[in-house]
């Protein structure tokens, strides 16, 4: 009898074995175990796990936006259209969307790039944001940004002049990028963000990264995450101009992860599209992919998988190829498309849903403002911690000075010092954050990423727990 499986660790796609995704990685798996242990009554020095590993706002207690949820309910079940409890503008919105669904059902396939009405609404949103035209034909909806980012990256899998393709990504970065590049077998060309200068992109560093990667690879595209994840900085207009010029010099495709553009405290947001357009030719003719998702912003509907990419200035044959690849997967979920419709055109003043929407929106903004300030101040008040100002996104990424003896202790158990630190933090306090190795960091520096959108009390409890853990940790390893 044969013992060998047909698919083994040796014969499986080896790229899959290289994927690391710390946001759902080993520390998070341990947190889940601990939650089960707590349920079974295993004694711990804390009574609950605080999940701060993933930007999952509803899971942290943020309330869904009522308008969105009412639209979803009626789009799913148009019989409820007669309900007196649902405002008229919700009913009108649902009717508009259902008119664009074949036979009025969200259960019919949509076009593979998404419903026409939703793509038009996205184009209107972008036009209003940038003050320049945008077109529904340049918009492709997807199952969250992850889905469309992967689809765009897939286009670059091709040797050019005999050299394997590489993609420039920031360090630190959101591990969707490193994970997807691993899966697709694309090489990474890392460029380091400048922590000492508010996580800015320095052109010298971009040039270094490009030059080193270009020895053995063909660099095809540059990924920029603005606002930053995990770093939370918002790029200045002049920094974006520098990046665009750099990309132009090296004929790079720009991939702008702009998913946190609605999660900004008090800085202006400049889209790559707007800056490139205003720079004029040749920059305004460059190829660009800009990604947005309903999992972030004020909607934060992570579980409902909705997002889009705007692809501008693509060669028509390239656009066609992208289109065909998308068509094989049929279409993004139509209820997800409904959410995007609401996000792109929320209730306006005078409409029945507006007052409640305005209040919900202001709660979301207020929480973000408070938490970014508190996180910044708290982390910088802990001895050995350094944290840049947090302009946006929903994370803090503090740097920790790690005592030499702690680094040695970590290596003895085959862990990186930041993993060692985060695992101990979890075991001793129940706080689950993600070690900096999952995002990348300058060698010899140590960080973790934490979400900051917990309810006020929970957040304060977490900050206190981190502080007293760290002080104990320093005592233990000094």
Q: Which stretch binds its own copies (CB under 8 A): 204-212, 315-323, 391-399, 407-415?
A: 315-323
Structure tokens at 92: 């009108």
Q: Which is nearer to its own copies, 169 or 221 (CB)?
A: 221
* Cα 359–chain centre separation: 25
167 bridge partner residues: 188, 221
Joined together, the tokens standing for residue 136 give 């529904």
The residue written with tokens 């998913």 in the block is 259
Q: How many residues does the chain have?
A: 478
Contact status: 33 vs its own copies (CB under 8 A): no
Buried b (16+ CB within 10 A) or exposed e, 361-394: beebeebbeebbebbbebbeebeebebbebbbbb
Q: Is 30 in the site for its own copies (CB under 8 A)?
A: no
Q: Residue 121 CB: number of other CB atoms within 10 A? A: 22
Interface residue with its own copies, options 33, 197, 238, 330 (CB under 8 A)? 330
Which ranges of 250-347 would DSSP assign to H, the alpha helix?
272-279, 316-328, 334-344
Query: If binding is defined by CB under 8 A, does position 39 make contact with its own copies?
Result: no
Q: Whole-number minimum distance, CB 399 to its own copies, in Å?
A: 26
**CA 286 to chain CA centroid, nearest Å:** 24
Q: Rounded CA gap, 313 and 186, in Å? A: 23
Q: Which of 122, 141 has the CB closer to its own copies?
A: 141
The least distance separating its own copies from the CB of residue 270, rounded to whole angstroms, comes to 22
The only residue of 31, 34, 60, 223 in contact with its own copies, by rule CB under 8 A = 60
> Which of 52, 155, 265, 425 is in the footprint of its own copies by CB under 8 A?
155
Establish if 12 lies at the interface with its own copies (CB under 8 A): yes
Give the separation between CA 427 and CA 413, rounded to whole angstroms. 15
Select 63 or 358, whichever has its Cβ closest to its own copies.
63
Indicate which single residue of 87, 170, 172, 179 sits in contact with its own copies (rule: CB under 8 A): 179
Judged by CB under 8 A, does residue 255 bind its own copies? no
Which CB, 10 or 412, lies closer to its own copies?
10
Rounded least distance, CB 392 to its own copies, Å: 20
Answer whether 66's CB lies under 8 Å from 353's CB.
yes
Window 83 to 142, contacts with its own copies (CB under 8 A): 83, 85, 101-103, 105-110, 112
Q: Cα separation of 463 and 345, whole Å?
A: 36
Cβ neighbours, 10 Å, residue 429: 21
Helices 272-279 and 116-130, interaxial angle, to 10°?
60
Q: How far is the CB of 440 from its own copies (least distance, A)?
A: 16
Query: Which 234-253 positions form the footprint of its own copies (CB under 8 A)?
Result: 248, 251-253
Q: How far apart are CA 190 and CA 236, in angstroms?
A: 21
**Under the criterion CB under 8 A, does residue 457 sit at the interface with its own copies?**
no
Give least dist CB 396 to its own copies, A.
20
Stretch that binds its own copies, among 75-83, 206-214, 227-235, 260-268 (CB under 8 A): 75-83
- Among 89, 195, 262, 287, the residue binding its own copies under the rule CB under 8 A is 287
User: Residues 370 to 409: which contact its own copies by CB under 8 A?
Assistant: none
The residue range among 62-70, 194-202, 232-240, 415-423 that interacts with its own copies, by the rule CB under 8 A, is: 62-70
Which residue stretch of 13-21, 92-100, 129-137, 349-357 sits at the interface with its own copies (rule: CB under 8 A)? 13-21
Measured from the CB atom, the residue of 143 and 374 that comes closer to its own copies is 143
Output 281 or 350, the one with its CB closest to its own copies.
281
Residue 416 has a CB neighbour count (10 Å cut-off) of 18
Q: Which is nearer to its own copies, 363 or 404 (CB)?
A: 363
Widest CA span in the chain: 75
Please state whether beta strands 139-142 and 50-51 pair in parallel, antiparallel, or not at all (unpaired): unpaired
Site for its own copies in 186-205 (CB under 8 A): none
State which of residues 47, 158, 196, 204 lies at the interface with its own copies (CB under 8 A).
158
What are the E-state strand segments in 408-451?
Answer: 431-432, 434-435, 448-451
Q: Measured from the CB atom, is 8 or 414 closer to its own copies?
A: 8
Measured CA to CA in angstroms, residue 215 lies from 187, 189, 209 at distances of 12, 11, 10
Structure tokens at 277: 């357009």
Q: How far is CA 35 from the centre of its chain?
A: 26
Task: Give the interface size with its own copies as a residue count (CB under 8 A).
Answer: 102
Residue 169 to residue 178: CA distance in whole angstroms: 8
> Which is closer to its own copies, CB of 21 or CB of 385?
21
Q: Closest CB to its own copies among 284 and 373?
A: 284
């Amino acid at each position: 009898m044969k013992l060998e499986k047909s698919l083994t660790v040796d014969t499986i796609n080896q790229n899959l074995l290289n994927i690391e995704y710390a946001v759902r990685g080993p520390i998070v798996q341990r947190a889940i175990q601990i939650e089960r242990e707590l349920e079974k009554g295993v004694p711990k020095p804390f009574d609950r796990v605080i999940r701060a590993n993933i930007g999952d706002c509803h899971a942290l207690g943020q309330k869904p936006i009522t308008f969105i949820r009412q639209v979803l309910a009626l789009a799913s079940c148009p019989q409820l259209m007669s309900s007196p409890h649902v405002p008229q503008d919700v009913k009108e919105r649902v009717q508009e969307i259902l008119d664009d669904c074949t036979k009025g059902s969200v259960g019919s396939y949509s076009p593979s790039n998404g419903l026409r009405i939703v793509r038009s609404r996205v184009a209107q949103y972008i036009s209003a944001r940038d003050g320049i035209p945008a077109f529904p034909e340049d918009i492709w909806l997807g199952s969250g940004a992850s889905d469309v980012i992967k689809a765009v990256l897939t286009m670059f899998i091709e040797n050019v002049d005999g050299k394997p393709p590489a993609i420039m990504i920031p360090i630190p970065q959101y591990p969707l990028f490193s994970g997807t590049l691993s899966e697709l077998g694309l090489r990474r060309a890392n460029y380091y963000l400048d922590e000492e200068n508010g996580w800015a992109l320095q052109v010298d560093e971009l040039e270094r990264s490009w030059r080193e990667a270009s020895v053995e690879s063909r660099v095809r595209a540059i990924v920029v995450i603005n606002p930053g994840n995990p770093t939370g900085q918002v790029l200045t207009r002049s920094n974006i101009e520098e990046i665009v010029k750099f990309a132009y010099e090296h004929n790079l495709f720009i991939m702008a992860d702009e998913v946190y553009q609605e999660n900004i405290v008090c800085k202006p947001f400049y889209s790559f599209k707007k800056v490139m357009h205003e720079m004029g030719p040749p920059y305004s003719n460059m190829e660009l992919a800009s990604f947005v998702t309903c999992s972030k912003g004020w909607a934060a509907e992570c579980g409902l998988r909705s997002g889009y990419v705007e692809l501008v200035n693509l060669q028509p044959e390239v656009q066609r190829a992208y289109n065909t690849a998308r068509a094989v997967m049929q279409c993004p979920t139509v209820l997800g498309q409904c959410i995007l419709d609401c996000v792109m055109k929320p209730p306006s003043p005078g409409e029945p849903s507006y007052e409640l929407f305005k209040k919900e929106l202001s709660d979301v903004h207020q929480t973000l403002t408070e938490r970014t300030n508190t996180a910044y101040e708290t982390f910088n008040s802990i001895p050995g911690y350094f944290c840049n100002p947090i302009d946006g996104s929903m994370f803090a990424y503090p740097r920790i000075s790690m005592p030499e003896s702690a680094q040695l202790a970590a290596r003895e158990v085959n862990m990186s010092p930041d993993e060692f630190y985060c695992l101990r933090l979890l075991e001793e306090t129940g706080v689950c954050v993600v070690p900096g190795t999952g995002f990348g960091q300058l060698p010899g520096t140590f960080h973790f990423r934490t979400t900051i959108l917990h309810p006020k009390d929970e957040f304060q409890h977490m900050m206190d727990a981190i502080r007293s853990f760290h002080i104990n940790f320093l005592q233990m390893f000094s």
